Amino acid sequence: MENMGGKLKYKLSKWVVIVLVLSGMISFTGCYYDDEDNLYPQVGGCDTSNVTYSATISVIMSSNCNSCHSGSTPQGNLKTDNYTDLKTIADNGKLWGAVNHENGFSQMPKDRPKLSDCDLSKIRIWIDGGALNN
Amino acid sequence: MMMRKIFILLIVPLLLSFHVKAQDDLMDLLGDQPKTTDYTYATFKTTRIINAQSVENPAEGVLMFMIQHRFGRINTGAYEFFGLDQATIRLGLEYGITKRLSIGVGRSSYEKTFDGFLKYKILRQSTGLSRMPVSLSGYFSTAITSLKWEDMGVENRTNYFSSRVSYTYQLLVARKFSNSISVQLIPSLIHKNLVPTGEDKNDIFSVGVGGRVKLTKRMSVNAEYFYTPTGQISYDFNQPLSIGLDIETGGHVFQLHFSNAQAFFDRGFITETNGKWWDGDIYFGFGISRVFTIVKPKTIAEQN
């Protein structure tokens, strides 16, 4: 029995070291309390003064939508990477319903957080202005 | 309403355990003080209920290899062969360092995530000389997402490694009520280093409940549900509910299941489930685990 006690002690200390090292490795990056709105503020707040298709909307589309909605077999058979197709869904309400997560529309971007309020208001302004190719 | 549900979930198993205790006291009246402690074993068939960890660990010196696989949503229709054309998987290894401590690593295709965890048995349910109504394990896991960053509309944004990391802390409280019925409660805290908006909480509280009912010696029906109080998450999210069937065959355990969650690691299925059961956003999946004995257990002769 005494022997066993000695063994156990040795075994325990060896494992304690290993576990401490491992858990240290796992948690070395530490805890942060960041959110994207604060960590990456939109420079100068939300600038909605010059919303155009080429400079504003096509940029939002390419960083959030085109990865699925482009090419020869786009998701949902909808393309957002060109003006003509985007104009169609802007006019029939599908674009706004999807990005603003309205009832009866498939919520976009799929499985990802909703677009920022700033991007949403830019899209709204563009649609309200007639979804021009400017 | 929701608070009441949680309350019931917490209280019912407690009441049940008092009932069992009363029976034990009755046994005492018959005399015969027990001289040994019988530890309850096989509360669950394997280390997972379905997605969540169970109180089970691989035995000391045993390495477990695990393949967890989920197809796509069954409501995607005949064109996607009801989801069978798509796949999300996790490959994992778990090892029993001691009788009480196990360690595991895994890689999920969901968000290309690596995960690692430690699980420690704090209390073991037992009868006899020393009695304990429940088994209790502590669980800590880290998940590191390795997806490439997207700038999300901010030019030249600086991305931090820490933003890829999230942690999960859980207490696993389980009781095996009889040979066929086991219930487990899982109070959980999930910490995300980076969340999408200021409305999202970095620390998310959730409580899970899971259980199994054995149909035969080798088969059991399992179910599991996590409730995360609303107001902590701003994006679209649903509470994950999973129902499964465990089949044990020798060194393997097969787990077949239906779930509205897609991910297999804690942060993923507890806080990022977006499927709705009633809309048919259900994923069919399975898990296979196989154990390998790395360090042979000592025989009784060697121990003495």
Give the closest residue to A58 by CA, choosing from A69, A72, A42.
A69
B159 CB near a chain A CB, below 8 Å? no
| Residue A5 confidence (pLDDT) | 47
- Is B97 within 8 Å of A34 when comparing Cβ atoms? no
* First-residue to last-residue Cα distance in chain A: 87
Quote the pLDDT of residue B108: 94
Any chain A CB within 8 A of the CB of B156? no
Q: Hey, is the C-beta of B105 within 8 angstroms of any chain A C-beta? A: no
The residue extents of the domains of chain B are 56-147+163-294
CA separation for the pair B183, B178 (Å, rounded): 10
Beta strands in chain A (DSSP E): 34-35
Residues listed for chain B: 304
pLDDT at A19: 67
CB contact under 8 A, A34 and B194: yes
> Which letter, b or e, does each residue of A10-31 get, where b requires 16 or more Cβ atoms within 10 Å of its Cβ?
eeeeeeeeebeeeeeebeebee
Instruction: State yes or no: pLDDT of A28 exceeds 60.
Output: no
Domain B56-147+163-294, CATH number (from 2.40.160.40, 3.40.50.2300, 3.40.640.10, 3.40.50.880): 2.40.160.40
pLDDT tens digit sequence for B50-63: 999 999 999 998 99
Whose tokens are 């379905």? That residue is B50
- Mean pLDDT, consecutive 10-residue stretches, chain B (304 aa), reads 56 51 56 78 93 94 93 87 88 93 93 93 92 94 87 70 92 95 96 89 95 94 95 90 92 91 94 90 93 80 55
Tokens of B65: 């290899």
Please answer yes or no on whether B193 and A29 come within 8 Å at the CB atom. yes
Is the preceding omega at residue A113 within 30 degrees of 0, hence cis? no
Query: How much of chain B, in percent, has pLDDT values that exceed 70?
Result: 85
Q: Are the Cβ atoms of B197 and A113 closer than 8 angstroms?
A: yes
pLDDT value at position B44?
94
Is the ipTM, as predicted for this complex, more than 0.85?
no
DSSP at A75: G
Contacts 24+ apart (CB under 8 A), B199-207: B199/B234, B200/A35, B200/B232, B200/B233, B200/B234, B200/B235, B201/B232, B201/B233, B202/A32, B202/A33, B202/A34, B202/A35, B204/B228, B204/B232, B204/B233, B204/B270, B204/B271, B205/B229, B205/B232, B206/B270, B206/B271, B207/B6, B207/B9, B207/B10
Q: How far lies A70's CA from each of A36, A86, A124, in Å? A: 27, 11, 22
* C-alpha span between B244 and B224 (Å, rounded): 9
Q: Does the pTM exceed 0.90?
A: no
Tokens of B180: 């066929």
Pairing of strands B62-73, B126-128: unpaired
DSSP assignment, residue A62? H
